[in-house]
Structure 1
């Protein structure tokens, strides 16, 4: 089922994000560099295989919530 696969991808992306926690906390690295690392290392894990998913509104919302929470965490907003 697609929802199960999306949940699995979110879990894997969460692990990738957590493994880079030391990078997100550093103040001497520019936010633009952190964003590029996030897109390459976390977002690619999150969206791997998504071209074949028949997405529903709830699925899209789950992916966006995870994405926005990570970006907010990187920016120090939340």
Structure 2
């Protein structure tokens, strides 16, 4: 089902844009104008009337706008939020990826700590420990990374986390002088 007659997108950077993102039971509507968003919301609600759309799950996130007029569905205002989770990624009102990267680093840290016995194991080779790290921690860290709006600061945060984990796995002490490039 098409959300509207035309294609809608948000310009993210000079070369990149975010297009309609329709998935199963999640349907984000992208719009440049409040009136257009209201029309799309009304149209979708009418088309899916028999499917009982949950009002509590319908949210509005405003990006780069001064307009605060409410978006309504069936006469009720939809809730304005500063962030929401869409397909496991955190979307925020700044349009950046900082919140999602922070959450991913937290989840990867939990995955890393759950494998603490492996990192301390004398039976596993260093090579196998690094392979386990790459498959069980890095995958958690980088899940959804293809959608991130990467900046130098974000890349640095990710690299700091990876280097910190590798230094512990490789038993490199803080006083040992080993550059990140060698690591």
TM-score interval, smaller chain: over 0.9
Cα offset for 1:27?
1.4
Q: Report the 3-state secondary structure (helix = DSSP H, G, I; strand = E; otherwise coil) of the residue aligned with 2:137.
A: helix
2:169 corresponds in structure 1 to: 74
1:12 corresponds in structure 2 to: 107
| More relative contact order, 1 or 2 (CA 8 Å, 6+ apart) | 1
1:60 corresponds in structure 2 to: 155
Which runs of 5 or more residues in structure 1 are unaligned? none
Q: Report the 3-state secondary structure (helix = DSSP H, G, I; strand = E; otherwise coil) of the residue aligned with 1:9.
A: helix
Check if 1:32 corresponds to 2:136: no
Which runs of 5 or more residues in structure 2 are unaligned? 1-91, 174-183
Of 83, 98, 123 in structure 2, the residue corresponding to residue 3 of structure 1 is: 98
- The answer to which structure has the higher helix fraction is 1
Cα offset for 1:20?
0.2
Runs of 4+ in structure 1 over 2 Å off: none
- The answer to which structure has the higher strand fraction is 2
CA separation in 2, counterparts of 1:16 and 1:74? 14
Deviation per CA, 1:1-48: give whole Å up to 9, x if none: 310000000000000000000000011210000011000000000000
CA separation in 1, counterparts of 2:120 and 2:147? 35
Check if 1:22 corresponds to 2:22: no
TM-score (normalizing by structure 1): 0.97
Report the RMSD for the aligned CA atoms in angstroms: 0.7
Number of residue pairs matched by the alignment: 78
Bigger CA radius of gyration = 2
